[in-house]
Amino acid sequence: MAVITGAAVVIGLIAVVALIAVSGGLGGSEVAAVEQPEVPAPAEELREGRSLGDPDAAVIVDVFEDPQCPACGLFTERIEPLLIAGPVTDGEVFFTYKDMAFLGPESFEAAAAMRVAEAMDGKFWDYHQALFHNQSGENDGAFTLDRLADIAELVGLDRETFLAEMEKPDYRAAVEAETEEARTLGINSTPSLIVGGEVIRGVPTWEDLSDLIQSAAAGETEPS
């Protein structure tokens, strides 16, 4: 009986060790280490804080995004580069990122982190690209303070200075204020774009967005 019990204990221990190995430890699976984004950040000569391009451009395009929103990640990696390389670089569009952080605490932390990156070294767009590339599930640890600091280091910011700035309440207050601004405009999902005054919800195709920009430039769009 003792031999059987001992064998059972050994088998049980092996099973526990195997389970821990598969799950990544007693704390469960961990979020992957941060990676360099596939899409490079916009050229510095285009940058005006959280905006890009000529402030006197014929068409104003604003995008409201949540850092944890996967559709926003899709827009950032697939549509935004075409917008920047074309109408923004050509001086036709003035493009601005705006906060609509509504998916939980990590959304607010991540949005504040982008503002810190801009305040520290004018690196909003570098941080923005890296942040959206390193998305994971909602409020599952992808944008903890430590991982946001990892992203800061990835884009060349000093980690300790970044963490000290993140303790200041002004950045989160600004995120909350802009999120409330979005709600007053009737925006309740992300991404949402305002193109020449017209609200576009979801990720448009590049062809549709380009057509909207051309219509706005010609004065053919009407405010939503």
53: left (phi over 0), alpha (psi -120 to 50) or beta: left
Q: Are residues 52 and 73 in the same domain?
A: yes
Q: Domain tally for the chain?
A: 2
Q: Are residues 201 and 138 in the same domain?
A: yes
Tens of pLDDT, residue by residue over 90-101, are: 999 999 999 999
Q: How many helices (H) and strands (E) does the chain have?
A: 9, 6
Q: Are residues 24 and 41 in the same domain?
A: no
pLDDT at 129 over 60: yes
pLDDT attached to residue 148: 98
Confidence (pTM): 0.84
Closest C-alpha among 187, 211, 214 to residue 62:
187
Q: Are residues 178 and 118 in the same domain?
A: yes
In a domain, 171, yes or no: yes
Q: Are residues 18 and 55 in the same domain?
A: no
Domain that holds residue 133: 33-217
CA distance 80 to 183: 23
Task: For the chain, give the percent of residues with pLDDT over 90.
Answer: 80
Q: What's the whole-number mean pLDDT along residues 48-56?
A: 97
Direct distance between the N- and C-terminal alpha carbons of the chain, in angstroms, rounded to an integer:
79
pLDDT attached to residue 219: 87
pLDDT at 8 over 90: no
Query: CATH number, domain at 79?
Result: 3.40.30.10
